[in-house]
Structure 1
Amino acid sequence: MTRRIRILQVGLGDWGRDWAWRVNPTVDEAEVVGYVDSDPPALALLAKRLPVSRERCFGSLVDGIQATQPDALLVTTTLAGHAPLVRAGLEAGLHVLVEKPFTDTLETAAELVSLAAAKGLVLMVSQNYRFFPASRIAAQLVREGNLGELHGIGIDFRRDYSSPPKPRFRLHSDPQPLLVDMSIHHFDLLRLVLGREPDRAFCATANAGKGGFDGPPSATASIFFGDILVSYRASWISARAKTPWAGEWTMEFENGHVYWTSRGDNGVLHDKVVVTPRRGRRRVVELPAMSRIDRAGTLGEFAAALLEAREPETSGRDNLATLAFTLAAVESSQRQAWMEMPQVKAGLGSIAIPGNGAPPGAQAKSAPHS
């Protein structure tokens, strides 16, 4: 019988509880041995959804670690809790899987990556949009190069989370509700699909104060990967037909183009890849079956990395580039200037995700997409 990884989950707000009842039970290699949240009502709400005994619920990380002796932490708090909890877990000798965004600064993220390496521990960031069949096939098509050189990419993301009529989520009070909460997924997918890092980017945001959003819910960006130009458009307040969460992608090649989309509201049902060569017939690509998708894919990858003693796909080290990409977009939108990625990846200490003051265990509602 395969050994199971003993996991202590920290953070039981709306999204953490969703992890607890929807995701964790689907990964047999992971055994959740306890739950930690400083807010007693959060633990009470968890107990209403899952058959969890009081002996497995804790108000502090120290108590949870002492009582359960876990192998790893699963950190599902708000952003304010990520860095201190990841650091505490690593210092305690535990492997860590943390929700995105990794941390609010590159400097802090790099420190945590170094700490994990020094202690020989696995540190992984959940970038769950990678774990869908359409995104995997899109990356494969780029690698194979059967359509020739890739010239450009267009990405459109549209949802309407205007409040009212939607309820007000934590998202609505975030300083950067789109770039930090949503676009980070698309930026990470660009890194996956292209298999390389961006060189420079220009981003503009708009519509702060509209749709119930304190920060800007709309953005456009131009991003260069070498001479490949990516045109990105995204909105939380669009009146047009909604896209799947991964957005709608068009990839222009020398000898044809590819349309793809992924992560609809119901698993893989909306995953689709269509290849149209310059000469030849349009074809819909048959997508591979994946044993686990979405957050179950990240948790499964984390458990597999521990059992196989290897670095996971979206390790903290690898995710530094996704965080740098996101921070560069934020900084560009604020400066209204092009950002050179080598400078950002070098760790400019002045670049940070603006905080909203929410405590680590905040119970503000999260939009159901992360």
Structure 2
Amino acid sequence: MPEPLRLLQVGAGGMGRAWLRTISANPDVVLAGLVDLDVDLARAAADEHGYADVPVAKSIGDLVGATGAEAVIDVTVPVAHPKVSIDALRRGLPVLCEKPLAETVRECLTMVAAAEVSGQLLMVSQSRRYFRTGNAFGKQLAGLGPIGSLSCEFFKAPRFTGFRAQMAEPLLVDMAIHQFDLSRKLIGSEPVSVYCDSFNPGWSWFDGNASATAIFTFADGTRFTFTGSWCAPGLETSWNGKWRASSAQGTATWDGDNAPVAALGDGTAIPAEVGDEPEQIDGSLAEFVQAVRESAVPQAEVHTNVISIAMVEAAVRSATLGTPVRIADVLEDAYAEALATVQDDALLTTLKSWPSVQQVVGLAD
């Protein structure tokens, strides 16, 4: 058996504590150090989770040499992801970054360039890709043949405080990336365009638009419809949403939690094959370790994950303009912004070397 992968975790807040529990439960990894701008917070979090002997510090540079770290888990706030992840990559460390990769597609493209310059893996933890019943739903879809339509209903009523309550588009920006990203996995194609309408019900406790409907057209012709609200008390859906897929052969449904149900047009049931693979962030960590050890490309590798961020940005743009928006246009605009703003010579040279931003992220051949 190989030695456990030695990890530096950056971020000791609420999600950071969840990652500390995940790391402690995985025998293939070991926590080598914990980094946070608040060193006292980091020390307390480490001690609370059984890591009293693990060193803490304010920066990766303070620990990377002394700990023998081999990889980094970036669990900082989204605005810090580019700085932290790029720093780690440049130190020769592969990175598993919490979602979203960054706040803008422009920043995401800079992170793609950093991964290419460093030659290191940058993977995003899209935890909704690692639900056993969701994977079973995907297998049923494969058995139904080409999917014509896929829909997701998402209705919750969380009483958030802080930045979420004040965002202009809280549902689309902070939540919908989970469902948008999962739609790509389930359909097996890439989005081309979106029309989105967002609004805020009169009873909403959010400052911004807490409700939205988005219709995506995919390259294979599939339509994906997301409709949801963060101010919908009563009969709430799963945090994963409630899904339905239709094809010429039949239909499959998934309530977001339990085993999915599928049947052919003649009524023949398609069994749900629910496995025992690691779930949620346990699943993303397991795939990250495997990818690092085998030099493999994980399903949420940085290049392709940019498309999921572009789906969010395109939906917000569509809701603002009131017109359909092409994913390619969002990518091209972000690429032009990156070329105009990136000052690091190595990153800029790499960006300029790309034959096409759409080709680089896998949206075009």
Point out which structure has higher relative CO (alpha carbons under 8 A, 6+ apart).
Answer: 1
- Please name the residue that 1:160 is paired with: 157
- Please name the residue that 2:192 is paired with: 199
Aligned sequence identity (%): 28
Per-residue deviation, 1:276: 2.5
CA contact (8 A) 1:205 1:219 kept: yes
Per-residue deviation, 1:201: 0.3
SS across alignment from 2:51: coil
- Please name the residue that 1:173 is paired with: 166
Give matches, 1:1-370, under 5 Å: 1-21=1-21, 23-53=22-52, 56-144=55-143, 147-162=144-159, 168=161, 170-207=163-200, 211-225=204-218, 226-262=220-256, 270-282=257-269, 285-348=271-334
Distance change (3 Å), C-alpha of 1:103 and 1:204: same
CA contact (8 A) 2:34 2:57 kept: yes
CA contact (8 A) 1:209 1:216 kept: no
Per-residue deviation, 1:350: 8.2
Q: Which runs of 5+ in 1 are unaligned?
A: 263-269, 353-370
TM-score, normalization: structure 1?
A: 0.85
CA contact (8 A) 1:328 1:344 kept: yes
Deviations 1:272-320 (A, max 9, x none): 211122212445x333322311000001100110111112221111101
CA contact (8 A) 1:183 1:326 kept: yes
CA contact (8 A) 1:105 1:351 kept: no
- Please name the residue that 2:358 is paired with: none
Per-residue deviation, 1:5: 1.2
Residue identity opposite 2:81 in structure 1: H
SS across alignment from 2:45: helix
CA contact (8 A) 1:101 1:180 kept: no
Distance change (3 Å), C-alpha of 1:119 and 1:142: same
CA contact (8 A) 1:134 1:271 kept: yes
Residue identity opposite 1:195 in structure 2: G
SS across alignment from 2:50: coil
Cα distance in structure 2, aligned partners of 1:351 and 1:182: 25
SS across alignment from 1:348: helix
CA contact (8 A) 1:331 1:351 kept: no
CA contact (8 A) 2:136 2:272 kept: no
Per-residue deviation, 1:106: 1.9
Residue identity opposite 1:49 in structure 2: E
Residue identity opposite 1:296 in structure 2: D
Cα distance in structure 2, aligned partners of 1:169 and 1:72: 31
Residue identity opposite 2:4 in structure 1: R
SS across alignment from 2:176: helix
Cα distance in structure 1, aligned partners of 2:46 and 2:137: 41
Per-residue deviation, 1:114: 2.2
Cα distance in structure 2, aligned partners of 1:87 and 1:256: 46
Residue identity opposite 2:228 in structure 1: A
Cα distance in structure 2, aligned partners of 1:221 and 1:248: 15
CA contact (8 A) 2:261 2:272 kept: no
Cα distance in structure 1, aligned partners of 2:149 and 2:190: 15
TM-score, normalization: structure 2?
A: 0.86
Cα distance in structure 2, aligned partners of 1:12 and 1:208: 35
Deviates more, 1:75-84 or 1:52-61: 52-61
CA contact (8 A) 1:208 1:214 kept: no
SS across alignment from 1:199: strand
Cα distance in structure 1, aligned partners of 2:155 and 2:317: 23
Per-residue deviation, 1:32: 1.2
Deviates more, 1:235-244 or 1:84-93: 235-244
Residue identity opposite 1:300 in structure 2: A
CA contact (8 A) 1:209 1:215 kept: no
Distance change (3 Å), C-alpha of 1:279 and 1:119: same
Cα distance in structure 1, aligned partners of 2:67 and 2:204: 44
Cα distance in structure 1, aligned partners of 2:210 and 2:230: 5
Cα distance in structure 1, aligned partners of 2:123 and 2:273: 27
Cα distance in structure 1, aligned partners of 2:182 and 2:4: 30
Distance change (3 Å), C-alpha of 1:136 and 1:257: same
CA contact (8 A) 1:106 1:347 kept: no
- Structure 1: which 4+ aligned runs deviate by more than 4 Å? 349-352
CA contact (8 A) 1:133 1:271 kept: no
Residue identity opposite 1:72 in structure 2: A
Q: CA RMSD in A?
A: 2.2
Residue identity opposite 1:130 in structure 2: R
